Amino acid sequence: MSPSSLKYYLYMKGLKIIINDKDVINIASDRVASIFINIGESRQNNYIHIGGLDSKSYHLTWLEKEIKIGDKIKVKVSEINEITPLKERIPSDRSELVNKYHMLEKELKERGLI
């Protein structure tokens, strides 16, 4: 199933997200749709991730974006009849996740962070 095929789910419960009164993103999934907003002291920790997971355990991403002081994010629970096209749809692969974990662990050890 391609990312664009998700648009054929009509009138699903979902979320309508409006960022700074201009970017409108409609999300829905047959499993989980979510919004993560992270705020921290360093600039790289300030971002929004709009994504989810579908029934085939694919990770869905509509938006990953840096946010800053003054940004307005509106979220409305809605019946969604047209989903915003996905940025990416990635299969969950446990062995791939384990490999990524080991790669990141090695990198953090080399930097002296763990």
Neighbours of 25 (CB within 10 A): 18
pTM above 0.85, yes or no: no
Strands 23-27 and 12-19: antiparallel
Number of structural domains found in the chain: 1
Mean pLDDT of 76-90: 94
- What number of other Cβ atoms are within 10 A of residue 83's Cβ? 23
User: Which range marks the domain in which residue 28 is found?
Assistant: 3-110
Q: For residue range 32-57, list pLDDT tens digits in order.
A: 999 999 998 876 789 999 999 998 88
pLDDT at residue 8 in the model: 47
Own/partner pairs for 27-34, CB < 8 Å, 24+ apart?
Answer: 27/51, 27/52, 27/60, 27/62, 27/80, 27/83, 27/84, 28/80, 28/83, 29/53, 29/54, 29/55, 29/60, 30/54, 30/55, 31/55, 33/60
- Higher pLDDT among residues 101 and 96, named by residue: 101
